Amino acid sequence: MAKRIFVTATNTNIGKTYTTKLLLEAFALRGIRVGVIKPIETGVIENTPDGDMLLATVKRVNMEFENIKVADIVPITYELPAAPFVASKNTPLDFVKLDCAIEKIEKLCDILIIEGAGGLYVPIDEKTMMIDLILYYKATALLVTHCTLGCINDTLLSKKALEDKNIQHVVAFNCRQKDESFTTVSQPYFLEIGEKVLKVNDDIDTICDVLYNL
């Protein structure tokens, strides 16, 4: 079994796919065979936006993915851009399909990055939340959070959810150009409580090191 890293976030549109692509590139530069899978993607009609980007990236950094298709990277898709519970009309999650997809991908890599959909408590079916997949696949979590006003609350809530389930995790802040106020408005609090502020763009190598050693 490959080492598994589950990329999650405090909400949707926070930067999971962007961060996952950076992780793929950073691990590959270390000479590590790295792979990726996004178990579920919603909002899929004519193409698979996240899956297509991830597939292009992993093929570039790991030649063993040459014959892998987007359906291998994203085994379950739904058209409606909503929580899987809603998009699937509460169809029970097909764990057998996911397990088979992961088994196929893990033959090609030593580190598997699993990208979630939305945040930790996005419902997949009536029994399963996104956070449950982290436990099911015995993965370490990378929590991607934002840098706008409100990130303190959002980050602490998601961290508590991970801690309550004893999930090892790393927090990474995806600061965008418009987030200049972060250093004066939110970062001081995180530093005061002893939270190391790792930024996706600036500290991806450190983030990789910490994840690798967890």
Q: Which residues are catalytic?
A: 38
Residue 152: phi, psi to the nearest 5?
-60, -55
Beta 169-173 vs 140-145: how paired, if at all? parallel
In 3D space, the residue among 40, 44, 38 whose CA is nearest the CA of residue 17 turns out to be 38
Cα–Cα distance measured from residue 36 to residue 135, given in angstroms and rounded to the nearest whole number: 18
- Report CA torsion sign: 9, 191, 135, 38: positive
In 3D space, the residue among 92, 98, 96, 79 whose CA is nearest the CA of residue 41 turns out to be 79
Amino acid at 149: L
> Where would I find the beta strands (DSSP E) of the chain?
3-9, 34-37, 40-42, 76-78, 111-119, 123-125, 128-129, 140-145, 169-173
Cα–Cα distance measured from residue 152 to residue 188, given in angstroms and rounded to the nearest whole number: 10
Cα–Cα distance measured from residue 145 to residue 167, given in angstroms and rounded to the nearest whole number: 17
**For tokens 């001081």, what's the residue?**
188
